[in-house]
Amino acid sequence: MSPRSTPARLAMVAAGAALSALAAGTPALASGGDGDPVTGYETYKGRVIARTGLVLRDSPARGGRVLRIEPYGAIVSIFCKTASEEVDGNNRWYLLTDGTWAWGAARYIENVGKAPRWC
């Protein structure tokens, strides 16, 4: 089993759990935060602090396929966080919900408000 398959599996499990809970009609959190209009789940905000832009991937690892790049200073919508491959000493990755579901290294996303929940 390759090391890259584990982060990809984590991404699929997190997305699958979210979709399963949505289908069951049970929002994950309703504690007053902004809700994602598609899932009904609470979302969190973050600001991109990577000077050259934040590379967003299809799995929570640097080996994941690049989906897009968010520019420096962009405000992003965060669904949840997970632990995976370390990036500059930080092993947290955020699952973003802006347009497409994509993973970004938390090392380059500054929380705006409270920290995201775990996936």
- 21-31 residue pLDDT tens: 333 333 443 33
Fold designation for 5-112 = SH3 type barrels. (2.30.30)
CB within 8 Å of 66: residues ≥ 6 apart: 55, 56, 57
Cβ atoms of residues 109 and 94 within 8 Å = yes
**% of the chain exceeding 70 in pLDDT:** 66
- 34-80 residue pLDDT tens: 666 666 678 899 999 999 999 999 999 999 999 999 999 999 999 99
DSSP per-residue codes, 64-99: SPEEEEEPTT-EEEEEEEEEEEEETTEEEEEEE-SS
Res 12 pLDDT > 80: no
